[in-house]
Structure 1
Amino acid sequence: MKCVRNIYYQSYTFSFVLAFVVLILFHPAISMHFNTLLSTESLTISGNRTLVSPGHVFELGFFKNTLNSRWYLGIWYKNLSDRTYVWVANRDSSLSNAIGTLKFSGSNLVLRGRSNKFVWSTNLTRGNERSPVVAELLANGNFVIRYSYNNDASGFLWQSFDFPTDTLLPEMKLGYYLKTGLNRFLTSWRNFDDPSSGEFSYKLETRRLPEFYLLKNGSPGQRSGPWNGVQFSGIPEDQTLSYMVYNFTENSEEVAYTFRMTDNSIYSRIQLSPEGLLERLTWTPTSGTWNLFWSAPVDIQCDVYMTCGPYAYCDVNTSPVCNCIQGFMPFDMQQWALRDGTGGCIRRTRLSCSSDGFTRMKNMKLPDTKMAIVDRSIDVKECEKRCLSDCNCTAFANADIRNGGTGCVTWTGELEDIRNYIGNGQDLYVRLAAADLVKKRKANGKIISLIVGVSVLLLLIMFCLWKRKKNRAKASATSIDNQQRNQNVLMNGMTQSNKRQLSRENKTEEFELPLIELEAVVKATENFSNCNELGQGGFGIVYKGMLDGQEVAVKRLSKTSLQGIDEFMNEVRLIARLQHINLVRILGCCIEADEKILIYEYLENSSLDYFLFGKKRSSNLNWKDRFAITNGVARGLLYLHQDSRFRIIHRDLKPGNILLDKYMIPKISDFGMARIFARDEIQARTDNAVGTYGYMSPEYAMDGVISEKTDVFSFGVIVLEIVSGKRNRGFYQVNPENNLPSYVWTHWAEGRALEIVDPVILDSLSSLPSTFKPKEVLKCIQIGLLCIQERAEHRPTMSSVVWMLGSEATEIPQPKPPVYCLIASYYANNPSSSRQFDDDESWTVNKYTCSVIDAR
């Protein structure tokens, strides 16, 4: 009996093991090859099986879009809450229903739909059909076909990295493989829910010097500038990250750009958005969301291809932005006077070929290289000789800026698509006739003489001032001791982080602007006369004054103001370094006795809220002016976020902090609460969220999270106020009808968006009908709603906003319902938290308390 029992157990065990082995070998769902598809296996929509890469970062399988329920085979990040697709196989041949099978046919992977209809294939022409092949999803997201016995990358028969869609992943190459003629480029999705090929592409051109082109339906929309050995001359922004290394390869086999990550816990990708923006996005475990690190085009004015025409260059720091090269004049003066520089410029003096010379232009994006000639064997001196010896040569530059500059690039046609940068860029030498060079030398001589004369005069003035100060010092030593003592208190009161920041920048540049004596300020404002008062808030009073023959605005902080020493120094340090037409300019400061005073340029038209919400002044603000103000504020914010010396988050953007000059040009002001970000810093958190209710983003108000999207939210509210003429009463109202986002969204969702337009705008149509453009109004409303979406990652960046405002053809995404639903429900469930506040009260907000601070 015992023997029979043993035989029975052995037979049972053998049967179980055999059944398990059979399941492992023949049932795909239990296969041990989680990242591998064998030649005998298949993937189907109904089977729900996916391939998961080693490390569980990427996943390959079928997915369905929500717009029209079409099915696609694609790759996405596996563990992110917001599903992000990085590759789509059948983007232009989708499956119309949930019937689809991916399997091998010889050495090719083939996707078939209903009735075995062919949909997509790897179209592999090489490979031995008798040798076993497998498909594998690698750890870096590359989907490859290889022989089962060969794991070497050089032996891949096919790989998805050779056929990008809209995304460039680490270790993926963008550019040409010269041996086969393969050009790897990005093509945008049609829209955010449709992965089919859109109208934008990003391609590398290698006709002369390698450079990338952003194309719209095949036509250039933006150009990266040629590779100069360090970077692309048209992308001067620092893209260096501590966790990423990028590389550009140019040899006999390939010309390609790639990057790799040194920290695998951080994800980074480059995406060509449906809007035509090339964006670098990063995801970190701490942020839990995709954040924009860099995008192109950055500046809608100067990054757009051929903004300024031949022999003209674009400069965002000039007005108008188009400028003729030295020795050239506008081709069409009337067109130029209308600030249209597309016609470009022409020479003042014809070239003689024998006596010409060159003018040096610094920090330039080099012209389009389609008519350029490249010789990497000579230096810049030989390059100049070669250009002079060729009567058709119009300009030259170094091909490589490393090691003092090597190689030679010469142009023989018109110089097109040039722009100037404050820093970086490259030297360009443009050929001029001798007469224009003489004029330049004479002009330089006059300038030098003027500088010498002014310098002598300044030395005399400085000597007189020194004598005056010395005499005053003897007469009032006590006053000077008090001033010194107060400045010591000021520096001692600064936080350690501010001290380190100042020390790091330059110990001799603690202010970087003139310190003005209190006596001069008192005289300028007629002893702070009430007659000169321009306005006041929790910080103190602003006076109009006359200082050295110039009208100024004097901001005198009250002794009870909550803008303390840190905030005051923050504002001084920031504004002194910012230079942009849409930012207010600071002229000096005064720190004496108990006074803390800032002196600004005087802006004749006060603040935007004075026009928007003042019954008498609002009639002077037609739609043309409102749209121009919207564009100006957007460009100012873009400068703060991406183009300034520091990366700055304003944190208190509202109409009261947008000032208007006599030409109604908007200027962002009041940087006391601004936050400086490092270039690789994506977001920060604070326990003291200070700002103005109604303009604070939900993640900032509730959790203290600060990012660029904090300002984007505030900008969106301002846009809706500009269109409607109504003040946003904040997100604390239980009744959503008292809430501007609710009011706008209701009309937008019901197709009645134009009904929210300020009646004052409509009343002005009888006299100025051409100023009102319904398409522009609807675009602004849509952009405003996009900016105030609940989740920060859903809001556009300011570069996207500027692009959308300036482009007629750009397809703008549909907004999601604004955040008022979330906040209103929060206060509805917490009645004790709901109360009425004044229009401009500023608050410290978190999940537990609401503590009042003075209005700013």
Structure 2
Amino acid sequence: MRSHVPNYHHPYTFVFVFILFPALGAYANTLSPTESLTISNNKTIVSRNETFELGFFTPGSSSRWYLGIWYKKIPIRTYVWVANRDNPLSRPNGSLKISYDNNLVIYDHSDTPVWSTNLTVGASRSSLVAELLDNGNFVLRDSNSNEYLWESFDFPTDTLLPDMKLGWDKKTGLDRVLRSWKSVEDPASGNFWTKLETRGFPEYYVFNRETIIYRSGPWIGNRFSCVPEMKPIEYMVYTFIASNEEVSYSYHMTKPEVYSTLSLSYTGTIQRRNWIEQSQAWKQLWYQPKDICDNYRQCGNYGYCDSNSLPNCNCIKGFGLGNGQEWALRDDSAGCVRKTRLSCDGRDGFVVVKRMKLPDTAATVLDRGIGLKECEAKCLQDCNCTAYANTDIRDGGSGCVIWKGGLFDIRSYANGGQDLYVKLAAADLDHVKITSHGTIIGSGIGVTIFLLIIIIIFSYWKIKQKSDITIQTPRVDQVRSQYLLTDEVVLTSERYISRENKTDDLELPLMEFEALAMATNRFSVANMLGQGGFGIVYKGMLPDGKEIAVKRLSKMSLQGTDEFKNEVRLIARLQHINLVRLLGCCVDKGEKMLIYEYLENLSLDSHLFDKIRRSNLSWQKRFDITNGIARGLLYLHQDSRFRIIHRDLKASNVLLDKNMTPKISDFGMARIFGPDETEANTRKVVGTYGYMAPEYAMDGIFSMKSDVFSFGVLLLEIITGKRSKGFYNSNRDHNLLGFVWRYWKEGKGIEIVDPIIIDDSSSALLWTHEILRCIQIGLLCVQERAEDRPVMATVMVMLGSETTAIPQPKRPGFCVGRSLFETELSSSTQRDDDLTVNQITLSVIDAR
């Protein structure tokens, strides 16, 4: 009996199958010389395991077309590679083909090449094939030999995928770098890029154009020196190669189902993210730079940065301040100088500095075959040697790296880093010798133990004394935290007055009243920068030409000694690019003043609500400012050493530097939360009308979500160009939130946007989608119920991704004034629990 076998080679059968199963064509993982990938046919190439997909796309609301690769199975569109990032297609009719000269080429609508692999290939064109591999590598290969002639892994954009290498290859001559997108919707090459330095002890740098802004520290066996978060993970294996043929870093996933990327954001941040299936979101595992101590060369030569100390910059033992006046004003880049010159006669020794990010290693000498003891001897014999350390921290340490000349870009870690041995003159060793293993030997050991005992006894007495005083002078709104370097954040007025002239109480440089009076031209009206309920801010100039901002607290101000002390302690410990920097303070002649860095562009409200200046605030600038404020607030809530609630976020408390980078200021009302605290209650409600969350204004309950509410109001102000405080539009809208909400529900959200943005016809269409998303995010932040509002980490994800699903907001909370829905209540059919109107009068609000 003859079996029936269908003839699939019959032309009609092929057409029949293709019509019934069009997906067979769409899910091909290769492109042959006879095929093309075009925008019009919406065809893509998918890897065999369906993890990655390659095709043409337009980012967000952009009208430009790019060829790129993204994760197919992840609902949030995440691009990992872009071919023609700097040569986009202006029309939706481009194509990708294997050309007659054996290259992958993207053609525009007129068949003009806009991107090519630029190869000189000797193979026959008929034997070439382009394939998207399961690891996301797009390759052009010879089908006969399977030799890769070109691969996308050799030309990364902003993302390092598993098995992709970052670094230099002598054989190919390639130096693989990451370069950021220009903005969230523009894949063009941005200002930020990375480079793995091959000289000395290899490490990678992050540049802003040609300026180094961050350094990873060298590879020390299992991670980069200044990325302590790179802990061993069971599903991830790191590989670092340093040889004459190759210097590279890569990582491999032992569990293919775990998606992990290392990317460089358009803001200059290196970040490791994992996809979390349960929450359907990317989780950030770590990011750098994180704080002020990550800034390149923050503390100058022979200085090290400690984010847990005040001031942040300190000199290594045996070194002193290079420029005392600059350090007093917290301009730490002056660095330190050696107290005693080295003798180079065998009497010099070493001091061990523990848990350090090793100094910049571009000019170092390596010997991986010797240990610390031999390394110490080698350094002693070399008069130019200034320090040494292990090259590998695993298994007790091995290898030797020697620095010659200055030591800079050093920081300390509470956990992490490694030991650095710095050479000192005998006179600076205090008769204590540090061996290569860090053992202290010397005749003064008995004295040292005795002094330690005395210090312990004294510390115990002081703690008990403070405890007794605290019991005698309790206060309702006092906040404490076990994470502070000192024992209290807010002190009673009686205790403060008795100790107000002690520098150890403020832990900041103290300046005399007369010096500040001279700097501000005797606090002249011409030097005024602004005025609030707590006092006046003046511009000042010190004798060396350094510009400062002086906040002179009014003697009638509601901000008393408690709030002043609170602001000093809090902001001095907070170091972030989006937080204003406190340089010092003054407590003299009954005056209380704060000295800040001077920011050239003053406050956000001076631009946003000014008829002339607001014209300079394009949507891109406003969006960048929004992102900066969000990052600063996220740092306060999540990434700083404390969990801090600002309680007075508003446009006038956001300052702008010369580059229009936003910096959150004014921490007089800020409060610290413990690790397990989620909210607190106060009988002293302080803040600004129009920005306060309902639960805080009504019941004194504040939390991270009350700050989120303020952020939402501020975001809507940035979009509309209208003030929340004192807003008036018509009889229907008595506050900004009601105005925005009504237009949003009517589907006319774009009509609330500042006309200056809309009038910018060149960008209005391009950013419309992003603006509408931001309106929606703002409304989510100002919802009535605190539990409905997102946390700042979620806000950052929504701001940074055009494809993240955003829920529909519920009606905003109204805590002051008449209901804007009074005229709608009679005909409303909505549920009562979906409409919340609060009508109260606030009698305790600090005008700021």
TM-score category of the 2 structures, normalised to the smaller one = 0.5 to 0.7
Aligned partner of 1:382 in structure 2 is 374
Q: CA deviation at 1:200?
A: 0.7
Contact 1:736 1:820 in 2 (8 A): no
Give 1:523-562 correspondences, 5 Å limit. 524-525=472-473, 534=475, 541-542=476-477, 553=478
**Secondary structure at the counterpart of residue 369 of structure 2:** coil
Residue 452 (structure 1) aligned with residue 450 (structure 2): yes
**Secondary structure at the counterpart of residue 429 of structure 2:** helix
Give me the whole-angstrom Cα distance separating, in 2, the residues matched to 1:31 and 1:235. Answer: 45
- Unmatched 5+ stretches in structure 1: 1-9, 466-512, 529-533, 535-540, 543-552, 556-571, 588-600, 605-614, 677-691, 702-707, 753-783, 802-810, 842-856
Q: 1:85 aligns with which of 79, 89, 106?
A: 79
Q: CA deviation at 1:96?
A: 1.9
Give me the whole-angstrom Cα distance separating, in 2, the residues matched to 1:715 and 1:268. Answer: 34
Q: CA deviation at 1:127?
A: 4.9
Aligned partner of 2:621 in structure 1 is none
Q: CA deviation at 1:236?
A: 1.8
Aligned partner of 1:95 in structure 2 is 89
Deviations 1:366-409 (A, max 9, x none): 11111111111111111111111111111111111122221111
- Unmatched 5+ stretches in structure 2: 435-439, 493-503, 508-530, 540-548, 552-566, 572-578, 583-630, 654-664, 679-686, 697-702, 742-749, 758-773, 782-787, 815-819, 822-829, 844-848
Contact 2:241 2:247 in 1 (8 A): yes
Give 1:285-684 correspondences, 5 Å limit. 285-299=277-291, 301-354=292-345, 355-438=347-430, 449=447, 452=450, 455=453, 524-525=472-473, 534=475, 541-542=476-477, 553=478, 575-576=481-482, 578-579=483-484, 584=489, 617-619=533-535, 631=580, 638=635, 641-642=638-639, 644=641, 654-655=647-648, 669=671, 671=673, 674=676
Aligned partner of 2:561 in structure 1 is none
CA 830–582 in structure 1, closer or farther in 2 if over 3 Å, else same: farther
Q: CA deviation at 1:823?
A: 3.1
Contact 2:370 2:399 in 1 (8 A): yes
Deviations 1:682-738 (A, max 9, x none): xxxxxxxxxx9999999x99xxxxxx9969836736978999998899xxxx95716
Residue 51 (structure 1) aligned with residue 45 (structure 2): yes
Q: CA deviation at 1:412?
A: 1.3
Give 1:118-137 correspondences, 5 Å limit. 118-129=113-124, 132-137=127-132
Q: 1:269 aligns with which of 244, 261, 273?
A: 261
**Secondary structure at the counterpart of residue 146 of structure 1:** strand
Deviations 1:198-228 (A, max 9, x none): 1110121111111010011132111001111
Q: CA deviation at 1:131?
A: 5.8
CA 665–452 in structure 1, closer or farther in 2 if over 3 Å, else same: farther
CA 245–148 in structure 1, closer or farther in 2 if over 3 Å, else same: same
Q: CA deviation at 1:298?
A: 0.8
Letter in 2 for 1:455: I
Q: CA deviation at 1:73?
A: 0.8
Contact 1:580 1:639 in 2 (8 A): no
Give me the whole-angstrom Cα distance separating, in 1, the residues matched to 2:231 and 2:636. Answer: 16
Aligned partner of 2:811 in structure 1 is 823
Contact 1:314 1:419 in 2 (8 A): yes
Contact 2:691 2:724 in 1 (8 A): no
Deviations 1:301-341 (A, max 9, x none): 21111112111111112222222222222222222222112
Aligned partner of 1:497 in structure 2 is none
Give 1:157-168 correspondences, 5 Å limit. 157-168=149-160
**Secondary structure at the counterpart of residue 395 of structure 2:** helix
Contact 1:204 1:212 in 2 (8 A): yes
Range moving further from structure 2, 666-675 or 371-380 = 666-675
Deviations 1:218-241 (A, max 9, x none): 321110011111211121234454
Residue 117 (structure 1) aligned with residue 115 (structure 2): no
Deviations 1:57-92 (A, max 9, x none): 221111124565221111122244432211111111
Letter in 2 for 1:257: Y
Contact 2:207 2:213 in 1 (8 A): yes
Deviations 1:653-676 (A, max 9, x none): 6359x9xxxx98668545368369
CA 158–410 in structure 1, closer or farther in 2 if over 3 Å, else same: same
Q: How many residues of Structure 1 are paired with residues of Structure 2 in the alignment?
A: 636
CA 336–715 in structure 1, closer or farther in 2 if over 3 Å, else same: farther
Letter in 2 for 1:315: D
Percent identity between matched residues is: 39
Contact 2:349 2:433 in 1 (8 A): no
Letter in 2 for 1:749: D
Q: CA deviation at 1:256?
A: 2.3
Q: 1:64 aligns with which of 33, 58, 61?
A: 58
CA 263–797 in structure 1, closer or farther in 2 if over 3 Å, else same: same
Give me the whole-angstrom Cα distance separating, in 1, the residues matched to 2:717 and 2:115. Answer: 50
Aligned partner of 2:837 in structure 1 is 835
Residue 21 (structure 1) aligned with residue 14 (structure 2): yes
Range moving further from structure 2, 257-266 or 25-34 = 25-34
Contact 2:712 2:779 in 1 (8 A): no
Give me the whole-angstrom Cα distance separating, in 2, the residues matched to 1:305 and 1:202. Answer: 14
**Secondary structure at the counterpart of residue 342 of structure 1:** helix
Contact 2:201 2:218 in 1 (8 A): yes
Aligned partner of 2:25 in structure 1 is 31
Aligned partner of 1:254 in structure 2 is 246
Q: CA deviation at 1:516?
A: 10
Larger helix proportion of the pair: 1
Contact 2:260 2:273 in 1 (8 A): yes
Give 1:133-152 correspondences, 5 Å limit. 133-149=128-144
Contact 1:368 1:415 in 2 (8 A): yes
CA 649–58 in structure 1, closer or farther in 2 if over 3 Å, else same: farther
Aligned partner of 2:591 in structure 1 is none
Q: CA deviation at 1:257?
A: 2.1
Letter in 1 for 2:12: A
Give me the whole-angstrom Cα distance separating, in 2, the residues matched to 1:273 and 1:78. Answer: 21
Aligned partner of 2:619 in structure 1 is none
Aligned partner of 1:713 in structure 2 is 708
Give me the whole-angstrom Cα distance separating, in 2, the residues matched to 1:59 and 1:65. Answer: 15
| RMSD of equivalent CA atoms | 5.4
Residue 224 (structure 1) aligned with residue 216 (structure 2): yes
Deviations 1:145-199 (A, max 9, x none): 2222456xxx322211111101112222222223222222110111111111111
Contact 1:788 1:819 in 2 (8 A): no
Deviations 1:541-583 (A, max 9, x none): 35xxxxxxxxxx5x7xxxxxxxxxxxxxxxx9xx43x246899
Aligned partner of 1:171 in structure 2 is 163
Contact 1:581 1:667 in 2 (8 A): no
Aligned partner of 1:749 in structure 2 is 754
Letter in 1 for 2:811: I
Letter in 1 for 2:735: E
Range moving further from structure 2, 578-587 or 422-431 = 578-587
Give me the whole-angstrom Cα distance separating, in 2, the residues matched to 1:386 and 1:197. Answer: 45
Contact 2:646 2:669 in 1 (8 A): no
**Secondary structure at the counterpart of residue 362 of structure 2:** helix
Contact 2:636 2:643 in 1 (8 A): no
Give 1:753-792 correspondences, 5 Å limit. 790=780
CA 15–105 in structure 1, closer or farther in 2 if over 3 Å, else same: closer
TM-score scaled by length of structure 1: 0.62
Contact 2:71 2:77 in 1 (8 A): yes
Contact 2:301 2:336 in 1 (8 A): yes
TM-score scaled by length of structure 2: 0.63
Give me the whole-angstrom Cα distance separating, in 1, the residues matched to 2:141 and 2:244. Answer: 26
Q: CA deviation at 1:125?
A: 3.2
Give me the whole-angstrom Cα distance separating, in 2, the residues matched to 1:583 and 1:324. Answer: 27
